[in-house]
Amino acid sequence: MHILHIISSPRANSYSARLGRQIVEKLLAAHPGSSVHERDLSHHPLPHLEEVFVQGIFTPAEARTPSQQAAVQHSDEVIDEVLAADVLVIGSPMYNFSISSSLKAWLDHVVRAGVTFKYGPNGPQGLLTGKKVYLALASGGVYSGGSPMAAYDFMAPYLKPVLGFIGLTDVEVVRVEGTSIPDLEPMALSKAVDSVAV
C-alpha cells in the first residue's frame, strides 16, 4: 500500500501534522511494508494559479509553450502523487473557518478538467476512484458534536465535496478540536488519534 501524507500547517508543533503522522503510523502498523510519501505544502508551497497555467491546461501538451509547460508541471506532479497513492492523509489547520491557502493551492492544481474529472453524459465524473482519504483537521474551537459553531465550519463541508468531485468519495473526517481551549487542549490530540480505526 502506498500512503500520501499532505501537510498544510506551517507550525513545527502542528496538531494536524501530528494527527496525520499518527494516522500514517496506524496505517503502517496495519499494513506492514507500506510506503509513505510526505508533501509539505507549507514549506514547499505551490504557486497560486496564474494566466499562464490556465492557458497551459487548455492547450494540448505537445503545443504548450515552455512557460506553459513549466506552469502545468506543478499540477502534473501533484496529480501523479495522488494517482500513485492508495490512501491519502490530508492535514489541515482551520484558518478563518476554512482551509489554509497552501492546501487550497494544492486543490487548485489537483482538480483539473480532463485529468482528474471529466464531463460525461451523466454530468461530472471523478477520475481518482478507489482510494481512501483521512482528513486530519485541527481547529482552535469546537465545531462537531452539535456545537453551535458548526455553521462556521467551512473546512470539512468544503473538503468532502471537492474531493468527491474528483472521485475521492471514501473520506473519513478526524478532528483535533479545541486546541485553543485550555480545558480541551491537553487531551485533544490523543482523543482524535483514538477515534481513528484503520
Ligand X SMILES: Cc1cc2nc3c(=O)[nH]c(=O)nc-3n(C[C@H](O)[C@H](O)[C@H](O)COP(=O)(O)O)c2cc1C
Q: Which chain residues interact with ligand X by CB under 6 A?
A: 9, 11, 14-17, 93-97, 138-141, 179-180
187 is in an annotated binding site: no
9 is in an annotated binding site: yes
Q: Closer CB to ligand X, residue 155 or residue 163?
A: 155
Nearest distance, CB of residue 5 and ligand X, angstroms: 13
Q: Closer CB to ligand X, residue 68 or residue 179?
A: 179
94 is in an annotated binding site: yes
Residue with the closest Cβ to ligand X? 93
Q: Closer CB to ligand X, residue 100 or residue 116?
A: 100
Nearest to 164, CA basis, from 121, 114, 125:
125
15 is in an annotated binding site: yes
Please state, in angstroms and as integers, the Cα–Cα distance from residue 9 to each residue in 16, 100, 116, 139, following that order. Answer: 7, 7, 25, 11
158 is in an annotated binding site: no
C-alpha cell at 85: 497513492
Nearest distance, CB of residue 175 and ligand X, angstroms: 11
User: Strands 87-93 and 35-40: what pairing?
Assistant: unpaired
Nearest distance, CB of residue 115 and ligand X, angstroms: 29
Q: How far is CA 40 from the centre of its chain?
A: 11
Contact 39, 80 (CB under 8 A): no
Nearest distance, CB of residue 163 and ligand X, angstroms: 19
Where residue 176 falls (left for φ over 0; alpha for ψ -120 to 50; beta otherwise) is beta
